[in-house]
Each structure stands twice: as structure tokens, then as C-alpha cells.
């Protein structure tokens, strides 16, 4: 496969952009190569500047639930653009999108639009602190909630000790207000609340973790968060930036039958445009300015193009009444075939899946948290990734990201992917032997 134009484009980009990319994982450093520069996309396919075609399982990291350049979305954006790109003033589409979100997610009464998932989670934390009058936030190791200072914290040395900054530029003083616990560990969570529950403003969690690879919640884990936060007067923040409207019409909360106090969104609610949102129960959300004392603002929040794209995507999803059942079948097929191919070749693999989110881990052990995810064979993943790319299958360039299925993936796409996966397992087997 010739990718020389992408290599030259990357070399040029590195002169003017840090690392040549505007988001770190795009640099392909984890897989020992350089990124492909994409020229266009349609349906389930993307095309690089060298003219290569790929079946896309990244989907812009999740937003393209209906596939690329879906007509109902592109037409909505085109119409909105003809009337102006941004007003810095209210538009009716903001209310329409907010109303639809509240209809789909029962625990949400009020929504505030922002421009990214990071902005949504950052604002949700400030709101939780303002509403409760407390400072401490609980997060879970391996869950990523954006790059705001309070959340770039790595775990401390014990179950109920504070962490330290995981990025340069984050003051250590910020870390003292963030408690990092193991994902899926109900005992550690219970001990933390027993020790300092009256100081905890909120617990923030990905209901299905997607940033250490896909890791489902253990039985009772989300329920324990709900129970403990309610008992101690803390808030439960469900970070559904990745899972919102992907796993069910009401996201992961709907899939697992869980209620949260604040929910954050991104990706799918933007239809491919830069959009984030946070919403929750009315009495909490009324603490947000101008209704209340918690300040948050944004020049481009609720801009008409983003609102048009997000509204069109959610409306298209709602009209397609069987979409979640259809994508579940696609996901189950890939999961089963991946497991079978790995087993035939004697390759130790764990396939974690929830609906349209899938991760292949090269390990003998179940992957249930960040520790078990980190113990996987990333060198074997690197080989797997590059061989799949060579066969026209575009995956996330990291062991710790999800494969995303879309409504646009066809049976033929899935069959080609399964065939490629089997071939790659055979190659890995020969190298291992």
C-alpha cells in the first residue's frame, strides 16, 4: 500500500503543529508509524490522500453513528450555513436539540450546550462543586473525561489517597481535590465514602469505559455509585460523551437502568460538528449562570451549524426504530468471529464489547479495569493494527481505544473485516511460534 503522500504531509505538519497533529493519539506513535491524512469519507469508508480506501471503525472517534456524510445531516448543515455560520445569539435549534435530549434521557430536565466533551465535563464538575459546596471529586483510573486540570490526575498509592498530576502544567494543588479509584472496585468506593463522604462533591464515571479500551461496568458498580452518592449528598455525574445515544436511545444510563444527577454529552449529539452538552435535574442546572451563581459561557456554544447537525442526527436515529437491534447484531457477529479466529490460531485474546463498542485485548486475562488493560501485549497490538491497515481496515491506533460500529457498515464490510482479522491472527501465530 502506497502512503507516501501521507508521510510527506505528516512531515510538513510537524513543522507547524506540535507533533504534527491536533490531538495526540492521531500521531500513530503507539503503533510505530505515521498517520494517514484523510481526503474524504462516505458511509462506512474513508479515503486517504494517496487514494487508498479503508473500512472505517474509528468514525471520528465515535460521532459517526450513522456513517460519514449522511444525507440527512449534510443537508441540514448546508441549509443552516446558508443562513449564517454563527450569531452569538439564541437560535431556535438550540431549544429543539435540548428538548429532544430531555425527551430521550429521563433524568435530564435542562441542558446547557457547549463546544466539546472536555468543556462539558469541566463545566459539570464546577457545577457539582458549586451546588454541593464541596471540593472533592472522585474519578476512576483509566477513565478519561477530557483534558481539564482537575481530571488529568493519576492514582495515588492507596484506595483512599489523593493522586498526583499526570500532565505537565497541572498544579499539584489541583490534585489534592481529586480522588482516583480503581474502576469496577465497589469496595474501594465504599471505603472512600466511609472515610470522606461528607466532603465529596461528585463521582464522575464513564458508565462504560472507553478510554482504556472498552471495559463494561461490573454487576452492581453503577448501582453502588448511585446509592453512595445519594446517601452522602454527593452528585453522580455520568460521562456519556462517548456512550450517549450510542448504546441505547437514552445512552448507557438507559441500557443499565441507572439514574444520574448530571450527564455529559459530545460526539453523537454533534453529528460530526464540535458539540458538547451537560444536563441534569432542574434544581441542579438552575445553579448555572444566568439562573444561578456557577459561571460558564462560550462564544460559539449552540451555534446554528452544530445544532443543525446534532438535531438532524438524533432525529434520524429516532426515525430508524430498529437501529440499535441491527447494530447489536453486527457487534455480536464481529465479537464471535474475532474470538473464533483468535482461538483457532492459539492467540490469547479477550474481546470486550458493549453494543457497537468493541475492543480486542491481547491477553490471557479478563480486562476489568485499568490495571488489567495495562497488562495487555501492546507490541502484539501494534502488529495487529498495522496488518489490518494493510488490508484496508482502519482501526484506532491504540490498544486503549474502542472500535466503533456504525449503521453504515454493511454485511460485506463485516465479512471483509473478519477475513482480514483471521489472516492477521495467522501471521501473529507464525511470529509467536
**Residues tagged active-site:** 144, 239, 267
Pairing status of strand 53-56 against strand 45-48: antiparallel
Give the separation between CA 251 and CA 274, rounded to whole angstroms: 19
Give the separation between CA 3 and CA 341, rounded to whole angstroms: 29
CA trace torsion 67, 70, 73, 74 (10° rounding): 120
Alpha-carbon distances, residue 186 vs 159, 213, 219, 222, 261 (angstroms): 11, 20, 10, 9, 19
Q: Which grid coordinates are listed for 223? A: 448501582
Buried b (16+ CB within 10 A) or exposed e, 156-189: beebbebbbbeeeebeeebbebbbbbbbbbbebb
Alpha-carbon distances, residue 328 vs 45, 46, 214, 331 (angstroms): 20, 23, 15, 5
What secondary structure does DSSP assign to 20-47, as a single string?
Answer: GSSSGGGG-GGGTS-PPPEEEEEBTEEE
Give the separation between CA 128 and CA 360, rounded to whole angstroms: 35
381 with 32: CB under 8 angstroms? no
Q: Which grid coordinates are listed for 82? A: 446558508
Closest to 113 (Cα-Cα) out of 280, 275, 319, 324 = 275
Give the separation between CA 38 and CA 68, rounded to whole angstroms: 13
Collapsing DSSP states into helix, strand and coil, what is residue 92? helix
Alpha-carbon distances, residue 111 vs 87, 102, 107, 165, 288 (angstroms): 20, 8, 11, 30, 10
Amino acid at each position: 500500500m502506497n502512503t507516501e503522500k501521507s508521510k510527506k504531509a505528516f512531515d510538513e505538519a510537524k513543522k507547524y503543529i506540535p507533533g504534527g497533529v491536533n490531538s495526540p493519539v492521531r500521531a500513530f506513535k503507539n503503533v510505530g508509524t505515521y498517520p494517514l491524512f484523510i481526503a474524504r469519507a462516505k458511509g462506512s469508508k474513508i479515503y486517504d490522500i494517496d487514494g487508498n480506501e479503508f473500512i472505517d471503525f474509528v468514525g471520528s472517534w465515535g460521532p459517526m453513528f450513522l456513517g460519514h456524510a449522511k444525507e440527512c445531516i449534510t443537508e441540514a448543515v448546508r441549509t443552516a450555513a446558508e443562513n449564517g455560520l454563527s450569531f452569538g445569539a439564541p437560535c431556535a435549534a438550540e431549544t429543539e436539540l435540548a428538548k429532544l435530549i430531555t425527551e430521550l434521557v429521563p433524568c435530564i430536565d435542562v441542558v446547557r450546550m457547549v463546544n466539546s466533551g472536555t468543556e462539558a465535563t469541566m463545566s459539570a464538575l464546577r457545577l457539582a462543586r458549586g451546588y454541593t459546596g464541596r471540593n472533592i471529586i472522585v474519578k476512576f483510573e483509566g477513565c478519561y473525561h477530557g483534558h481539564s486540570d482537575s481530571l488529568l490526575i493519576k492514582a495515588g498509592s492507596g484506595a483512599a489517597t489523593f493522586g498526583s498530576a499526570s500532565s505537565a502544567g497541572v498544579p499539584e494543588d489541583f490534585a489534592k481535590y481529586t480522588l482516583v479509584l480503581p474502576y469496577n472496585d465497589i469496595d474501594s468506593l465504599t471505603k472512600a465514602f466511609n472515610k470522606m463522604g461528607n466532603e465529596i462533591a461528585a463521582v464522575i464515571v464513564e458508565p462504560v469505559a472507553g478510554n482504556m479500551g472498552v471495559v463494561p461496568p461490573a454487576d452492581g458498580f453503577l448501582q453502588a455509585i448511585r446509592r453512595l452518592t445519594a446517601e452522602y449528598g454527593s452528585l453522580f455525574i455520568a460521562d456519556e460523551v462517548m456512550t450517549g445515544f450510542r448504546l441505547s436511545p437514552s445512552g448507557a444510563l438507559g441500557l443499565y437502568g441507572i439514574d444520574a444527577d448530571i450527564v455529559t454529552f459530545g460526539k453523537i449529539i454533534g453529528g460530526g460538528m464540535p458539540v458538547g452538552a451537560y444536563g441534569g435535574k432542574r434544581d441542579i442546572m438552575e445553579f448555572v449562570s444566568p439562573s444561578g451563581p456557577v459561571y460558564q459561557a462560550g462564544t460559539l456554544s449552540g451555534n446554528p451549524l452544530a445544532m443543525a447537525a446534532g438535531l438532524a442526527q438524533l432525529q434520524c436515529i429516532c426515525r430508524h426504530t430498529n437501529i440499535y437491534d441491527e447494530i447489536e447484531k453486527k457487534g455480536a457477529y464481529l465479537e464471535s468471529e474475532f474470538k473464533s479466529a483468535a482461538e483457532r490460531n492459539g492467540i490469547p485474546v479477550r474481546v470486550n464489547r458493549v453494543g457497537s463498542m468493541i475492543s480486542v485485548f491481547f491477553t490471557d486475562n479478563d480486562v476489568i479495569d485499568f490495571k488489567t488493560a495495562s497488562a495487555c501485549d501492546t507490541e502484539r497490538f501494534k502488529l495487529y493494527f498495522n496488518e489490518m491497515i494493510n488490508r484496508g481496515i482502519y482501526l484506532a491506533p491504540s490498544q486503549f481505544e474502542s472500535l466503533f460500529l456504525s449503521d453504515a457498515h454493511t454485511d460485506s464490510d463485516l465479512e471483509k473485516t473478519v477475513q482480514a482479522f483471521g489472516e492477521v491472527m495467522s501471521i501473529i501465530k507464525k511470529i509467536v511460534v
